């Protein structure tokens, strides 16, 4: 194998990796690719972020024959001027036997120059972010595609990405423990003071997200992203090109003189009267938030999230002040980002315990008790 003939590679110092990460904005350098790369919780890059050589380092590596022409000696090839941060598919593309000829050094040096100039040109202040990646449904995430650049450069991430399968009482308790561990890791990193902001990326069972939200305090400004399934990227603010359909939230209260309050929030589907009565009976107080025409793509952007979150927080707090509930039951159907924000609204110094229910499509009853916050 050619490997034995290859010169020894000098390992990059953490400062060099960090520098490369920052000048690339943590985004794949390949022209036209806006793939945001994920750094894992050891601070090293996962295989999502590949450090690719423009002039190959091994003796018969891609473009190795151009080394002299471009003034690189063997030792210089690990110089960051010769390195590009890329997503895995693009790092393969530029090195693959069948495609590498389309990427001579000039093309790649130009890409690197343009990309780094683009990152420098961001007029807003670049903020260093720590991400929480909470993906407990389906396979783990390795990249976080965003449509437009965010002025945050994700420097590090803490993650909980093992699939959640145990929907038993013990399973949910374990889920809460996992959340607490993740949160502690997050706080330990935040307390080192290296980050300006935090970001959350989540696709997980709703009760776990509401619970995670209840743990997240405002130590640093926090942005919760939501996944746009249709377009396959993460979003936060409404793009200027989109005119949002208004949510038109309606809310109603049924007073049964109970010490327990059922809160239903219908965003991507409807929590029906029957759902509530089957599992909780008919004798509890009930507060309902329902938007006009609920469906799965109805709520996506942070402005919409805030609108519903505010109603939930303000109304439930006002009701609780008046009625002093012993327990609140929460039945929610809606997107992940809003679930986290609902959790963040739960003020543990003021609110009673909140029992959270899991929605199971095609099951009867549709809601099952999951966990208590």
Nearer residue to Zn ion within complex by CB, 28 or 39: 28
Nearer residue to Zn ion within complex by CB, 28 or 262: 28
Which range in 13-21, 35-43, 149-157, 353-361 contacts Zn ion by CB under 5 A? 35-43
Angle at 213 between CA 212 and CA 214, to 5 degrees: 90
The one among 27, 33, 67, 331 contacting Zn ion by CB under 5 A = 33
Task: List the beta bridge partners of residue 252.
Answer: 288
Q: Are 197 and 184 in contact (CB under 8 A)?
A: no
| DSSP structural state of residue 64 | G
Which range in 2-10, 25-33, 165-173, 256-264 contacts Zn ion by CB under 5 A? 25-33
**30: contact with Zn ion by CB under 5 A:** yes
How far is C-alpha 106 from the geometric centre of its chain's CA atoms? 36
Shortest gap between Cβ of 237 and Zn ion (angstroms)?
Answer: 24
Nearer residue to Zn ion within complex by CB, 52 or 276: 52
Nearer residue to Zn ion within complex by CB, 30 or 164: 30
Q: How many residues bind Zn ion (CB under 5 A)?
A: 6
The one among 36, 90, 115, 135 contacting Zn ion by CB under 5 A = 90
**If phi over 0 gives left and psi between -120 and 50 gives alpha, with beta otherwise, what is residue 8?**
beta
What is the contact mask toward Zn ion in residues 69 to 88, using x (rule: CB under 5 A)?
------------------x-
**36: contact with Zn ion by CB under 5 A:** no
- How large is the angle between the packed helices 169-191 and 206-215, nearest 10 degrees? 40
* CB atoms inside a 10 Å sphere around CB 79: 14
**112: contact with Zn ion by CB under 5 A:** no
**183: contact with Zn ion by CB under 5 A:** no
**Distance set, CA 81 to CA 52, 59, 315 (Å):** 11, 19, 56
Nearer residue to Zn ion within complex by CB, 86 or 132: 86
Shortest gap between Cβ of 86 and Zn ion (angstroms)?
Answer: 6
CB under 8 Å to 98, separation ≥6 — which residues?
A: none
Q: Give φ, ψ of 187 to 5 degrees.
A: -65, -40
21 vs 49: CA distance, rounded Å: 9
Which range in 31-39, 181-189, 263-271, 350-358 contacts Zn ion by CB under 5 A? 31-39
Per-residue b or e along 26-43, where b marks 16 or more CB atoms closer than 10 Å to that residue's CB: bbbbbeebebbbbbbbee
The one among 23, 27, 35, 262 contacting Zn ion by CB under 5 A = 35
Identify the three-state secondary structure at position 240.
Answer: coil
**28: contact with Zn ion by CB under 5 A:** yes
> What does the binding site for Zn ion look like in residue numbers (CB under 5 A)?
28, 30, 33, 35, 87, 90
């Amino acid at each position: 194998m050619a490997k034995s003939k290859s010169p020894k590679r000098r390992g990059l110092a953490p400062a060099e990796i960090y520098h490369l990460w920052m000048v690339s904005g943590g985004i794949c350098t390949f022209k036209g690719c806006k793939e945001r790369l994920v750094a894992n919780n050891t601070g090293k890059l996962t295989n999502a972020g590949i450090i690719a050589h423009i002039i190959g380092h091994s003796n018969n590596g891609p473009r190795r024959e151009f080394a002299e022409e471009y003034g690189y000696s063997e030792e210089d090839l690990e110089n960051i001027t010769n390195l590009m941060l890329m997503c895995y598919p693009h790092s393969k593309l530029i090195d693959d036997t069948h495609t590498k000829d389309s990427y001579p050094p000039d093309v790649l040096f130009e890409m690197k120059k343009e990309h780094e100039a683009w990152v420098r040109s961001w007029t807003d202040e670049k903020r260093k972010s720590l991400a929480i990646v909470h993906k407990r449904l389906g396979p783990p995430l390795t990249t976080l595609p965003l449509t437009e650049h965010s002025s945050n450069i994700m420097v590090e991430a803490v993650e909980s990405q093992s699939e959640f399968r145990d929907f038993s009482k013990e399973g949910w308790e374990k889920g809460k423990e996992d959340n607490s561990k993740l949160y502690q890791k997050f706080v330990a990193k935040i307390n080192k003071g290296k980050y300006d902001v935090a970001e959350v990326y989540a696709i997980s069972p709703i009760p776990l997200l509401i619970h995670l939200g209840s743990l997240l305090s405002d130590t640093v400004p926090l942005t919760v992203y939501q996944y746009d399934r249709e377009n396959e990227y993460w979003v936060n603010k409404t793009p200027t090109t989109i005119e949002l359909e208004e949510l038109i939230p309606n809310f109603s209260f049924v007073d049964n003189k109970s010490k327990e309050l059922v809160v239903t929030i219908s965003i991507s589907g409807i929590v029906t009267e029957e759902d509530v009565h089957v599992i909780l009976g008919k004798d509890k107080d009930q507060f309902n938030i329902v938007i006009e025409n609920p469906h799965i793509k109805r709520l996506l952007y942070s402005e919409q999230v805030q609108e519903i979150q505010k109603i939930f927080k303000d109304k439930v707090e006002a009701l609780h002040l008046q009625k002093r509930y012993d327990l609140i039951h929460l039945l929610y159907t809606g997107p992940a980002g809003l679930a986290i924000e609902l959790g963040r609204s739960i003020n543990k110094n003021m609110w009673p315990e909140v029992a959270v229910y899991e929605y199971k499509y095609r099951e009867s009853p549709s809601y099952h008790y999951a966990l208590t916050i």
